[in-house]
Amino acid sequence: MTTTMTPTQRSQSAAPSRRARLVPSIVSGLVLGLVGGLLVALIVAQFAHGSRGINQIVVAGYLGWAVFFFIGIGALNYPMRWAFGRTQPTHNEELELAGRGQGPWRYFRFCTDHKVVGIQYLITVFVLFIVGGAAAFLIRLEQSTPGAKFVTPGTYNTIVGVHGLLMIAATIIMITGPFGNFILPIAIGAKDMAFPRLNALSYWLLFAAVPVFLSVFALGGFPTGWTGYAPLADQANAGMDAYAFTIILFGLSVGVSAMNIVVTVITLRAPGMRWNRLPVYVWGWALSVLLGAIAFPSFMLAELLVLSDRVFGTAFFISALGGSQWLYEQLFWFMGHPEVYVIALPSMAVVAEVVSVFSRKPIFSYKAVVGGFVGVAAIAMIVWAHHLFWSGANTPLDGPFMLSTELISIPTGLIFLAIVGTFWRGRIWRSVPLLFALGFVFNFIIGGVTGLYLADVPTDGVFHGGMFVVAHFHFTLVGGMVFGFFAAVYYWFPKLFGRRLNDRLGRAHFWLFEIGFLGTFLPLFYAGEHGEARWQANIPVQFATPNLVSSLFACLLVAAVSIFAYNVISAWRSGPKADTDEWGAKSLEWTVPTPVPLENFERTPVVTGSSYDYGNGVGAQPGRSGSAYPREATAGGATLPSPEP
């Protein structure tokens, strides 16, 4: 059957078509997914009964949505062809799948071009940030004054959970998604990712998770916050199913993407791109996704068990029936703490890179940075139970987990040593990306130091579950990681879109964001210090002042993000054209033309040196003659064949 089909398919796809094809595309995916999901839900509704009936219907609907969405968007076409006909796609078909000649419509299709996937990730991250940010603003609005004034406590809990999960998901992927897909293959001299179709799959898994998650609002929300603690999760209404199913889809996406990036870095480095010549951000991103791939399955497992409790009536987490809430806590935090380093490593790596580029100096110690990343990633796996100091379980291990948690400050310190040393006696160009890197350095120190109180048992005993924790992790996640994300956006935007962001708007964004950020979260340290608990729809009168101050400063954050959004949109539409090597940087992605052509390089580049040797060839254009890489247009032919023996 398939052998007769294949030639027809091949002849269809071999001809480049310029019109927007609706099948397969996002349109057919959405239509088939919605119809399929509804149908499956309706079928299951005929058999579902009892108090779990609604959960059975909802989860069946999500399963139907996921399966039919992927059929509709064409994710299974090539795997099926291969499975039944064992026919390899031709190079032309591969290019077709990578979106050749399809114009902007390729962004709405199952497109394997890593650059398309990167942009898809970036837009999605922006959307998640906007929705999660709106939820954050509602939280600050509600906490601006004592009493449940603006939203009901139930709505408030849902908003807290939506904010938490959206922001965590967004920050996990914010750098390794857009830049790990767009920039990383170019930076190592590859034509695409190792598994282009899995790359597209990882994005569309993420995409498929978003409507599932947003359906919590239709299903009455969920009360647990983003941690989803059982047994409250067992007790919650159908919104909890949406939460659990979202985690499963998102976890699959993270896992697929992670394996792809790791394999790409291992196998597709250009000739001469030795491990010690990789730009540091490649190290940081690859280690981050590797850590995520190890950590995330335990969260997926936890949510599978939650769904099992809720749909089939098992009792993994219900102590009265032989389950254990500690099981959930362990599974969750086994993911939950590595996860913050999954978020941290890419940002730290971006900052190390940006500081080197804009100090016009090699990284103070490449070994320290890479060693620091490896150390952080390794120790990150064994710190999780510091979240359980006061859970009533695990007491004999309090000491060891305190030790491991504080040990992680040593490799983190190495990374900071390298950053400080890179600044030292540089030729510092205070560009907008550098400003955000500076913001990272400033804020993350505060976030890191306040983490020590939470790692140490005596002080955690007064801060656990309080606003101090909230302030601490916002200093790391927002003050550190999101600043690193902004640095990455400002740094690579010219390569991604071929346009320049407005410099003055960028500076306004930075200063408003930094001041707004400090004003929003410093008062919460004070409130938490005095014992204000987290997750409060109704804040106690005692804490009214710090909360009001915090809420007022949050308005600056809204202003800053609005400026950023305006800057991005106006630059994308009509910004000045960017140069090929916009910043005079020396890594490989700055040698390819903008917009980057399909398959990136005409010939595989040959790497002959580190991308940080700014010290050599002083006086020359650092990005030009001093470049370690042959430029495609000029020197590409001259350096082939490889000078390597």
* Residues within window 472-511 making contact with another protein, judged by CB under 8 A: 500, 503
Cβ proximity to another protein: between 599 and 613 the closer is 613
Q: Does residue 227 bind another protein (CB under 8 A)?
A: yes
Closest separation in Å from C-beta 433 to another protein? 12
Q: Does residue 114 bind another protein (CB under 8 A)?
A: no
Cβ proximity to another protein: between 406 and 599 the closer is 406
The neighbour count for residue 23, using CB atoms within 10 Å, is 12
Q: Does residue 626 bind another protein (CB under 8 A)?
A: yes
Closest separation in Å from C-beta 152 to another protein? 9
Cβ proximity to another protein: between 210 and 432 the closer is 432
Q: Does residue 614 bind another protein (CB under 8 A)?
A: yes
From the list 245-253, 304-312, 534-542, 631-639, the region that binds another protein by CB under 8 A is 534-542
Nearest CA to 63 out of 83, 81, 44 is that of 44
Q: Does residue 240 bind another protein (CB under 8 A)?
A: no
Residue 133's beta-bridge partner residues? none
Q: Which of 416, 483, 491, 629 contacts another protein by CB under 8 A? A: 416
Reading the block at residue 380, the tokens are: 């990150």
Q: Which amino acid is at 567?
A: N
The residue assigned the tokens 């910043």 is 583
Distance (Å, rounded) from C-alpha 232 to C-alpha 317?
9
* Residues within window 584-603 making contact with another protein, judged by CB under 8 A: 584
Q: Does residue 457 bind another protein (CB under 8 A)?
A: yes
The neighbour count for residue 169, using CB atoms within 10 Å, is 24
Closest separation in Å from C-beta 530 to another protein? 5
From the list 114-122, 127-135, 242-250, 441-449, the region that binds another protein by CB under 8 A is 441-449
Distance (Å, rounded) from C-alpha 356 to C-alpha 351?
8
* Contact track, another protein, 153-192, x by CB under 8 A: xx-xx--x--------------------------------
Distance (Å, rounded) from C-alpha 144 to C-alpha 135?
14
Q: How far is residue 502 CA from its own chain's centroid?
A: 25
Cβ proximity to another protein: between 127 and 420 the closer is 420
From the list 68-76, 127-135, 189-197, 220-228, the region that binds another protein by CB under 8 A is 220-228
The neighbour count for residue 83, using CB atoms within 10 Å, is 10
Q: How far is residue 255 CA from its own chain's centroid?
A: 12
Q: Which of 6, 77, 308, 391 contacts another protein by CB under 8 A? A: 391
Size of interface with another protein, in residues (CB under 8 A): 111
Residue 533's beta-bridge partner residues? 466
Q: Does residue 531 bind another protein (CB under 8 A)?
A: yes
Q: Which residues contact 91 (CB under 8 A, 6 or more apart)?
A: none
CA distances from 272 to 45, 185, 286, 327, 622 (A): 60, 15, 19, 48, 21
Q: Does residue 413 bind another protein (CB under 8 A)?
A: yes
With beta carbons less than 8 A apart as the criterion, state whether 58 and 241 touch.
yes
Q: Does residue 215 bind another protein (CB under 8 A)?
A: no
Q: Does residue 149 bind another protein (CB under 8 A)?
A: no
Reading the block at residue 226, the tokens are: 């983003």
Q: Which of 16, 399, 595, 637 contacts another protein by CB under 8 A? A: 399
Closest separation in Å from C-beta 394 to another protein? 11
Q: Which of 446, 563, 596, 606 contacts another protein by CB under 8 A? A: 446
Q: Does residue 414 bind another protein (CB under 8 A)?
A: yes
From the list 65-73, 255-263, 339-347, 575-583, the region that binds another protein by CB under 8 A is 575-583
Distance (Å, rounded) from C-alpha 508 to C-alpha 511?
5
The helix (run of H) or strand (run of E) holding residue 288 is: helix 280-312
Distance (Å, rounded) from C-alpha 145 to C-alpha 142?
7
Cβ proximity to another protein: between 96 and 582 the closer is 582
Backbone angles phi, psi at 62, to 5 degrees: -65, -40
CA distances from 417 to 368, 410, 422, 441, 623 (A): 8, 10, 8, 11, 26
Q: Which residues contact 71 (CB under 8 A, 6 or more apart)?
A: 32, 36
CA distances from 422 to 353, 354, 361, 415 (A): 10, 10, 7, 11
* Contact track, another protein, 349-388, x by CB under 8 A: ----------xxxx-xxxxx--------------------
Q: Which of 466, 484, 516, 636 contacts another protein by CB under 8 A? A: 466
Q: Does residue 425 bind another protein (CB under 8 A)?
A: yes
Q: Which of 76, 214, 417, 544 contacts another protein by CB under 8 A? A: 417
From the list 50-58, 301-309, 525-533, 555-563, the region that binds another protein by CB under 8 A is 525-533
Dihedral, 268, 271, 274, 278 alpha carbons, nearest 10:
-60
Q: Does residue 616 bind another protein (CB under 8 A)?
A: yes
Q: Which of 199, 330, 431, 587 contacts another protein by CB under 8 A? A: 431
* Contact track, another protein, 267-286, x by CB under 8 A: ---------xx---------
Q: Which of 92, 394, 604, 608 contacts another protein by CB under 8 A? A: 608
Residue 466's beta-bridge partner residues? 533
Residue 499's beta-bridge partner residues? 577
Q: Which residues contact 294 (CB under 8 A, 6 or more apart)?
A: 338, 381
Q: Does residue 639 bind another protein (CB under 8 A)?
A: no
Q: Does residue 315 bind another protein (CB under 8 A)?
A: no
Q: Does residue 541 bind another protein (CB under 8 A)?
A: no
Q: Does residue 316 bind another protein (CB under 8 A)?
A: no
* Residues within window 9-48 making contact with another protein, judged by CB under 8 A: none
Using alpha carbons only, give the angle 485, 488, 489 rounded to the nearest 5 degrees: 90
Reading the block at residue 168, the tokens are: 């965590």
